[in-house]
Structures are given as structure tokens and as C-alpha cells.
Amino acid sequence: MTAGRPRVDEDHHVHSTFSDDAVSTLAENLDAAHRAGLRTVRMVDHVRVSTTYVPQMLAAVRALPVVEGLRVLTGVEAKILDARGAIDAPPQVLAALGTPDGPDRVLLADHQVPGTDGPWSPSTTVRMVAEGRVSPSDVVELVVTGTLRAVERAGRAQVAHPFSILPKVGLTEDDVPDALLDDLARVLVATGTPVEVNEKWRCPGVRVTDRWRAAGVTLVASTDAHRADDVGVYRWVGSS
């Protein structure tokens, strides 16, 4: 992978019915990727520390028919739990990343703010800011620091929809200072960690992607599709 604009003939974040909130099967997603003319698709499903289905999911992906010209990758999506970079995924799955028995990558997601004592929900974060217990800049730093440390901890990660948590707590990507973007970029480049430009959540935006691309960060396109009809369908990513 090399730094550049994300290719829209790839989709690096597609969910199947192994995720509770998805409606399409692995086979349906594969067919959709083929019909969309994709050259790469990453089959991804949600996990937590207690998840047990990953071996079955990976076996089901391996059992899919080979489609000429289409590379099929795998991943699991896990929440960043805290500012130390703890990851909400089974330890054995993280240990097997990149091996024949494990997924290719873990997708690190900021579904909540990675707080000092665990994940903070949007409502909790907003309340803490209102009460003066943390500042908006503290929240931004926690998100960046938690992501950075989770990337280092995982070794083989992909950053999923970066900064998607910020609008949920009344902030935007513009609240992330250049220095923090650069700190994260250095770790992303050093670890060879790709960052997705996410169609569903429309993030990260041009300011962030331009800065990270200039720093050598690999950007990949993703739909975060939860149904086959959305696989490889880009409107925002292709025009941003």
C-alpha cells in the first residue's frame, strides 16, 4: 500500500450477518462486490472481548468461491476502550492478526470516547464537559491518544471512521489541532496502518486526509456497508 487518494474500486469495511446489525450474508456481499467491479473487498464484523464466532466467520470467508480479479480480505471491528489503547476484542483474535488462523486486521473504532477510566458515551462526555470536569480539548486529546495507543498495541490495525465520535459530543474535526494529527500520522506511518475514508460517516474530511496523505499515511475507501446494496457504492468519498 502507498499513500494517495483512496481507490473507489476497493471497499475495506463491509459487514455481514455475523454482525447483529447487518442484513446481508457474506455470499451476498461477495456478489455485490463483483457486480460493483471492485478489485478488493474487506469482510468485517463487530466483536467484543466475549465474542466467540470469529473462527466460524473466517472459515465462511475462506469457503467463498474465488472471483477472478477480486481480492478478499478479512477484519474484525472493535471499540477503542480507553486512553491507554485497550481494544474490545478477544485476546486470541488480536494475537492471531495476520496469521492463517486470524483476520488480516482489526478495525479500531471510536464508537465512544476512550476515556481515562474506560469508554465514555456521548451523553456522559457532554455532561462532563458541561460540568467543567473535562474541556473540549481534553476530549479531542483522549480520542487521538486512545487511537494512537490502540494502533501501537494492535500492530495490524486499520483505523475505522476516524473522528466519527466528535460530532456526537458537539465537536468537529476542526477541533483537532495539527500537532495531534501529526502525532497520529507518525504512528500510522511507522506501523503501516491504513486509515479508511468512510462513506457512511463522511469522515475524515479534506483537511485531515490532505495532511495525512502528505505525511505518507495510507488511505483506503470504505462504505461501512451493512447491506449488500451499499457495497462499493461511493458518493461522498468519490467526490471529496
Specify whether the CB–CB gap between 39 and 50 falls below 8 A: no
Long-range CB contacts (within 8 A, 24+) of 26-29: 26/57, 26/60, 26/61, 26/64, 27/64, 28/228, 29/225, 29/228, 29/231
Which residue in 66, 62, 56, 71 sits closest to 11, CA to CA? 71
Question: Average pLDDT of 73-95?
Answer: 98
Residue 78 has pLDDT above 90, yes or no: yes
Take residue 90 and report the three cell numbers written for it: 478477544
What would the pLDDT profile of 24-39 be if each residue is shown by its tens digit?
999 999 999 999 999 9
- The b/e string for 41-64 (b: 16+ C-beta within 10 A; e otherwise) is bbbbbbbeeebeebeebbebbeee
Domains of the chain, each with CATH number or no CATH: 23-239 (3.20.20.140)
pLDDT-based confidence at residue 143 (cuts at 50, 70, 90)? very high
Which residue in 39, 37, 34, 57 sits closest to 47, CA to CA? 57
Take residue 99 and report the three cell numbers written for it: 496469521
Amino acid at 225: A
Residue 239 has pLDDT above 80, yes or no: no
Half-sphere exposure of 136 (CA within 13 A, CB side): 12
Amino acid at 46: H
Let me know if 21 is exposed, middle or buried by CB neighbors in 10 A (0-12, 13-18, 19+).
exposed
What would the pLDDT profile of 184-230 be if each residue is shown by its tens digit?
999 999 999 999 999 999 999 999 999 999 999 999 999 999 999 99
pLDDT-based confidence at residue 2 (cuts at 50, 70, 90)? very low
Q: Is the model more confident about 4 or about 73? A: 73
Residue 215 confidence (pLDDT): 98
Q: Can you say whether the dihedral through the CA atoms of 87, 92, 96, 101 is positive or negative?
A: negative
Question: Average pLDDT of 60-77?
Answer: 98
Residue 233 confidence (pLDDT): 97
pLDDT-based confidence at residue 238 (cuts at 50, 70, 90)? confident
pLDDT-based confidence at residue 92 (cuts at 50, 70, 90)? very high
pTM exceeding the 0.85 threshold for the entire prediction:
yes
Residue 5 confidence (pLDDT): 81
pLDDT-based confidence at residue 1 (cuts at 50, 70, 90)? very low
Residue 130 has pLDDT above 70, yes or no: yes
Residue 240 has pLDDT above 90, yes or no: no
